[in-house]
A and B are shown apart, each in its own frame.
Chain A
Amino acid sequence: MKEDEAACVLFDSGHRACAGCAAAMVARLILDAAGKDTIVVSATGCMEVFSTPYPETAWKVPWIHSLFENNSAVASGVVASLKKQGRKEKVIALGGDGATFDIGMLCLSGAFERGHDFTYICYDNEAYMNTGIQRSGATPYDASTTTSPSGRCSYGNKRPKKDLPAILAAHGAPYVATASIAYPPDLRKKVEKAVNTPGPCYVQIHAPCCTGWGFEGEKTIAIGKLAIETGLWVNFEMEEGKVTRVKKVVRKPVEEYLKEQKRFRHLFRPKRNDDEIGKIQAIADRNAEKFGIDIQLKK
């Protein structure tokens, strides 16, 4: 990296993330997009722990962590405080899917209902990774985690992912988007749009976790791409509650995504479970239909 480029990095090297950690990429990319005049309010979680072991910090912007479930409420206070002082910094609340979908939902809903001007960014690695890969409301159907293990009478997580973007759009959020670390320019553009849109905005970023999902660290981007290409993750934008942009793909069968990850291994071993793979394919098909992501190829 060139020296002048290094000077612009607002999320510094030397943190303790796993090699291939998508959450660390999220931190770097969102600050890239938001710029140095940003205050970050983090929830407890992997990112908070690997980036701020006292007396060190990876954050070169003002940063605060209070608790697991209150980053939206803390952000509300920061926004109010800045307003009273006539200051113009942008505020980003940052949390994993556990903090966002589950334990912090009350504070998140309250802050969005009140219309506080900040951007909430969820790095979604689809389970509680910091505590050892337990299922959350964002864990996909059939994923095996330490609290939704596959077993003789279990195929893993019994429920599909909670549709949080829709819930937050229903709060009247002016801008809601999903993104993936596999598509950095798109991610940056969405964060930039969110922080520059007045009112509470939400960006949910797919962040594959090599440790929790069971794949080699060098495959993080490839796994992220496969999620998009199979239709199990859809990148879209919602403005004033309406879907305005989606990423279209030539879809691949879901097993190309599933077979790369240990969390879905029980669907293939000891023997292939066509019923369950079929149910996951149906989830992708519904996504494709709902968002119209299929590129129609000329025959």
Chain B
Amino acid sequence: MLEIMEGSHAVAEAVGRCRPQVIAAYPITPQTHIVEALADMAANCEIDADYITVESEFSALSACLGASAAGSRVYSATTSQGLALMFEVCFNCAGMRLPVVMSIVNRAMGAPLSIWNDQQDSISLRDSGWLQLYAEDNQEATDLHYLAYKVAEDHRILLPSFVCFDGFILSHTYEPVDTLTQEQADSYLPPFRPYQRLDAADPVSFGLFASPDYYMEFRYAIDQALDKARSVIPEAGKEFNEMFGRDYSGLVEEYRLDDADVAIVAMGSICGTVKDAIDEMRDAGKRVGLLKIRCFRPFPHKEVRKALSGVTTVAVLDKNVSLGSRGAAALEVRDALYGSGVSVQGYIIGLGGRDVRKRDIASVVAKAEAGEGDIYYGLRQEVLR
């Protein structure tokens, strides 16, 4: 049933329907509405979860790690500085193959302090071994949580997963959202079945130290699991589509790309603006399309190459920057298209909450066609002086 809801509340409701047994979270803007809503549900016995009010994000994810290892489905949510404080634990969760699911309400990294949106936080954890899914709107942000648990807990995968959606732009915005009923959620997502757990009846040791004779194979195994996710995510998305009629079977999603000369590549809520801009450019006779990256880790190199092989120019929008290099998506797309002859231009855009409008998208397309790329778009020269 469609209901007008704030993004955070829609996500909290979906998380509740995933039946996490342990939730551990620490408040940070703009994640707070999610964890407040879940605390409220726990206080009213609407969810059967133990809610741990930890003293830091570092402990939030550490508690999730312990609870997951002991055999429970777990949940946390954070953003920006909070995620940075979890850095060490993030690598640990992946290394120990614990299927923690965590919402990342994307926000810029300080300094300077900014509570506003970009995607620098989750992108900075791209090498940690977590799955990374990005949502365009609140419906997708909501649904991707079911999908994330399904994939993360799959015994072929056993990796933690971020569900990323843009702070304020989605988290604090009211949109119509179709939330699953508990029965629907249960029919899609079975109870957590740990691969192994801390159990006195069958003692195992978790988190040993590995000498150079063993370490590399552990890392390779994580990469193999991420590679497997390239087929398990579409599988889980297809099943979701068959049951509920919303299609997340693609690691990427195309919009008016069939006959396009210019393709825009983007992630997250900016895709909505891009689609509107494309419609206007199409009306004016320009053949422009969008390739939305839903899954950034594992990165869908093959799918990207296939989708973009017919265009002449690609403009990649990055709400992040690998300082001293380029935007993260631009680097990946250029890698995917290496040797294809397609021109790939990167644009750092919308950092720290700077608004991106339809006319900015049109301007980016014009720059890409003129071969002017690998730039920060929309810098205020008067501030730089």
Contact = CB atoms under 8 A, between A and B. Distances in A.
A63 B205 contact: yes
Which among B69, B71, B198, B206 has the highest number of chain A CB atoms within 10 Å?
Answer: B198
Nearest to A89: B200
Interface stretch (B160-168, B173-181, B209-217): B209-217
A281 interface: no
B63 interface: yes
B144 to A, nearest CB: 24
A76 B59 contact: yes
B65 A80 contact: no
B204 A84 contact: no
A110 B202 CA distance: 30
B210 A54 contact: yes
B15 interface: no
Nearest to B69: A64
A218 interface: no
Which among A49, A52, A65, A84 has the highest number of chain B CB atoms within 10 Å?
Answer: A84
Interface in B180-235: 198-200, 202-211, 214
B66 A64 contact: yes
B52 interface: yes
Interface residues of B, number: 44
Q: How large is the interface on A (under 10, 10 to 19, 20 to 34, 35 or more residues)?
A: 35 or more
Given A64-B69, A114-B53, A84 B22 contact: yes
Given A37-B200, A39-B200, A54-B211, A67 B70 contact: no
A28 to B, nearest CB: 16
Contact of A64 (B64, B74, B206): B206
B74 A66 contact: no
A60 B67 CA distance: 20
Contacts of B69: 64, 74, 77-78, 81
Given A106-B59, A110-B55, A113-B55, A77 B205 contact: no
A241 B55 CA distance: 23
Contacts of B68: 77, 81
A65 B22 contact: no
Given A66-B66, A81-B70, A52 B208 contact: yes
Contact of A77 (B62, B208, B209, B211): B62
A111 B63 CA distance: 10
Contacts of A73: 54, 58-60, 62-63, 66
B46 interface: no
A163 B301 CA distance: 56
Interface string A77-120: 11011111100010000000000000000110111011000000
Contacts of B58: 69-70, 73, 106-107
17 contacts: A37-B200, A38-B200, A48-B209, A54-B209, A55-B214, A62-B203, A64-B207, A66-B62, A66-B207, A73-B60, A74-B69, A76-B54, A76-B59, A76-B62, A81-B71, A106-B59, A110-B59
Interface of B: 21-22, 24, 48-50, 52-56, 58-60, 62-72, 74, 88-89, 92, 96, 198-200, 202-211, 214
Interface of A: 36-39, 41, 48-49, 52-55, 57, 59-67, 69-70, 72-78, 80-85, 89, 106-107, 109-111, 113-114
